[in-house]
Structure 1
Amino acid sequence: MAVSLWGGAGLRWIKGPGGWQEDVTQSEVIVDSIHINQVKKTIEMFLRSKQQKAYKRLYSYLSAAPVSKCSAKESVTWLQISSEGSKECHGYSTLGELLRRLHLSGSVWQQGRFKYVICLTELIVKKKLSTLSVTSRKHLFILVETLIQRVIETSERIRQMKRIVAVVFRSLMEKNYFVGSKLAWFAEVEKVRDWTSRLNQLTISPRIDLQLSIPDLPVCVQRNIIRMLDDHEDIESLSHVNKTLNHLCKESDVWRSICFNHFSKNQLEECEAVLERRRLKGSLSGNDVELTWRIKYHFMLKRFEIQETFADPLLLCKRCYTVFWRESGHPCVGNVSETTYMPIHPKQLISLL
């Protein structure tokens, strides 16, 4: 004879020839006594768990990237630029998506992209840091940390990295800087101070070998090396090595080359016209009466922005307005050729977001 307790709370059932039947011989029903408050608590916990699962599904749906752009879980390195929603592109693009989906932290270690990424980071820190959300700022701090690791290992662009960290620290000290909580603010301040300390401790150890160095090269080779430099601070630092390099760094051809690399012809003509008027009026100092290319460069540096050139910049598709790396490409309707996309400057990219 089979006995079971299913079918009701505390009821006893017996399986007979005609199937399962209730045991009528049982005098008492087995029922556990449960307090009314415990029942209410159990029901509330159940309803609360159901509500949390519903909120979690809704948050995942709203925070995920739209299907027309890409899924947040996909490993893609392109971003469709849009300032408002449309039938073709839902939602809008933000700097947070730019930092997350274009894999800028990984691009830091690629030689062709390093200069582009650090210039883009400097613009974001100067113009957009106070407007970033907490999540976007977290991705930005990860990017800055990666840049500092690259700078410490390679000793490249140390001055530019110090400027970025200084701007971040000044922004943290402003009253209108939004961080979400005091603990988050203290954590970010401590992180920036650690960056500053690491950069200040960075030193380039002197060579102890007797191998060939720049002063040992012929003068014509030294001159060609100086002309390859695109930063005026590097040229001025190199001029303090010895008398030969000091003389070569002051040559007009060196500053003429850097002027045409960083400024346009119209900017140069405007600079020459302004300096000539000042020279005729006698408003220039004694050392600046002779309008050398070095004087013209420093004047344009104060008046205009430097035009940077990049080896592997981000590209903007003219057809679908998608930003992507040349190596990774992007899904585009129709045939993609050199005429369908163009390099986009970091300043232009920031203005689109």
Structure 2
Amino acid sequence: MPFISKDWRSPGEAWVKLEDGNWEKLKVLECGKRKRIPSTSEDDENTDVTAVPPHCHITIRCTKEIAGFNGLGDAVQRLDFRSSVRDRRRFHYICTLLGLIVTGKGIASLPGSAQRLLLQMVEEVASHVSDSQQNINVLRGLVIQLQQIVNQENQKCWGKPLGSQNLWLEHKQTIERIQSMTSQIQITVPDSSIRPRMTDLPEECIREIILRIADYRDLEATSKAWNVMSALVNEQRIWRELTGFHFNKNQVNFILDKNKSRIINDAKDWKKVFHDLRKAYGEREDHQFIEILSLCRFCCCLFWPSDGHPCIIDQCPDLKQRLTEAGEDIKLSQPVPPAQFLKFFSL
């Protein structure tokens, strides 16, 4: 098998230095998909820019013909998770994923490079929250979980940390920086001269804001903020539309028929109906996020829907035409919640 390289020692793969100082191997098949742009500084080298949107191929099932291994660290880099932290559409998805990793088997079960990437992402979350002064409760939850990891004894093997002691020392220093950054966050009170404020808005505007809240816990917290919000949150319309957002008609009709004896004069308590449905079916996890990772059914690539991915369908016009003629009901991709994402890596 010939090597695509002038050097007999390498199959044409190059190493590219990332912004965080780590090095990533540039695969042979990706060399043609990279382009170089001149740097803004004369002293700096040219910068590598990926010409294709971030995506990651996943091996769904290993067979005799198809063998592969999914690396979490490689997937995190290829899907550009660290930069996506500052995207408001992807922030909650990534934070939920980080929380599942930390509260599960912990970072001790991950390779060293994946551990470093995980903590770098949490540090990026802390920096973003500090700049935007939003989602502080999400950051504090991650910090508490990280502190528990440091204090846990089950992260040790034969009395010592599982892995390199220098690596764990670096992890502790990163966690200390995150804790320090979190403790220094202070909410800046808006200037009293800025108008309009929330209390100046009419009820119709506030109701429209409340109708866009997808988590019932946020609704209950909102009702405690202001008496006008409390009155609006108690409206039946709010809970009726929240019920329709999370559950389909068959599920709703089943619960309504089951509780028919409790309904008097068709006066439905939609808040109770919602909680009965939640207990029976649970909330749809993909409805909790603005943007959620998707898995292509044809090329088995994970990708962000807003960016897309280079699909095999685009390279096969006949297949694309047959799918178009079959109808629009064929789903080319399926959403991948955070828990499902981790199953690809046996976590």
Residue pair 1:275, 1:291 contacting (<8 A) in 2 also = no
Residue 309 of structure 2 corresponds to 329
Q: Does 1:172 align with 2:150?
A: yes
Residue 343 of structure 2 corresponds to 351
Q: TM-score, normalised by structure 2?
A: 0.66
CA drift of 1:296 comes to 5.0
Q: How does 1:255-270 map to 2 (within 5 A)?
A: 255-263=239-247
Q: How does 1:267-346 map to 2 (within 5 A)?
A: 292-295=269-272, 297=274, 304-309=282-287, 310-326=289-305, 327=307, 329-332=309-312, 333-335=315-317, 339=330, 341-346=332-337
SS at match of 2:285: coil
Residue pair 1:148, 1:161 contacting (<8 A) in 2 also = yes
CA drift of 1:134 comes to 0.8
Distance 1:263 1:91 in 2: 37
Amino acid at match of 1:320: C
Amino acid at match of 1:150: H
Residue 129 of structure 2 corresponds to 151
CA drift of 1:150 comes to 1.6
CA drift of 1:318 comes to 1.0
Distance 2:276 2:246 in 1: 13
Q: Does 1:218 align with 2:202?
A: yes
Q: Does 1:106 align with 2:80?
A: no
- Label 1:104 to 1:258 Cα distance change in 2 as closer, same or farther (>3 A): same
- Label 1:83 to 1:219 Cα distance change in 2 as closer, same or farther (>3 A): closer
Deviations 1:138-191 (Å, cap 9, x if unpaired)? 111111111221222223332223222322322333223264134433432343
Distance 1:250 1:235 in 2: 10
Distance 1:300 1:88 in 2: 44
CA drift of 1:86 comes to 6.3
Q: Which has the larger radius of gyration?
A: 1
Distance 2:114 2:239 in 1: 40
Deviations 1:97-153 (Å, cap 9, x if unpaired)? 111221111122233333332233333333353421111111111111112212222
Distance 2:130 2:279 in 1: 29
- Label 1:351 to 1:235 Cα distance change in 2 as closer, same or farther (>3 A): same
2:104 alignment partner, one of 127, 144, 159: 127
Amino acid at match of 1:341: L
Distance 1:191 1:101 in 2: 23
- Label 1:91 to 1:248 Cα distance change in 2 as closer, same or farther (>3 A): same
Residue 207 of structure 1 corresponds to 190
Q: How does 1:37-52 map to 2 (within 5 A)?
A: none
CA drift of 1:81 comes to 0.7
Residue 249 of structure 1 corresponds to 233
Q: TM-score, normalised by structure 1?
A: 0.65
- Label 1:172 to 1:150 Cα distance change in 2 as closer, same or farther (>3 A): same
Segments of 5+ residues of structure 1 without an aligned counterpart are: 1-55, 280-289
Q: Does 1:232 align with 2:216?
A: yes
Distance 2:272 2:182 in 1: 31
Deviations 1:220-269 (Å, cap 9, x if unpaired)? 22111111122334333332333222211222322333343345556667
* Larger deviation, residues 339-348 vs 290-299: 290-299
CA drift of 1:87 comes to 8.1
Distance 1:270 1:114 in 2: 35
Distance 1:272 1:176 in 2: 47
- Label 1:185 to 1:109 Cα distance change in 2 as closer, same or farther (>3 A): same
- Label 1:119 to 1:275 Cα distance change in 2 as closer, same or farther (>3 A): farther
SS at match of 1:209: coil
Residue 6 of structure 2 corresponds to none
Amino acid at match of 2:182: L
Residue pair 2:112, 2:167 contacting (<8 A) in 1 also = no
Residue pair 1:66, 1:90 contacting (<8 A) in 2 also = no
Distance 1:65 1:342 in 2: 27
SS at match of 2:89: helix
Greater relative CO (CA pairs within 8 A, separation 6+): 2
Distance 1:300 1:171 in 2: 35
Q: Does 1:136 align with 2:114?
A: yes
Distance 1:316 1:155 in 2: 32
- Label 1:224 to 1:331 Cα distance change in 2 as closer, same or farther (>3 A): closer
- Label 1:317 to 1:139 Cα distance change in 2 as closer, same or farther (>3 A): same
Matched-pair identity in %: 24
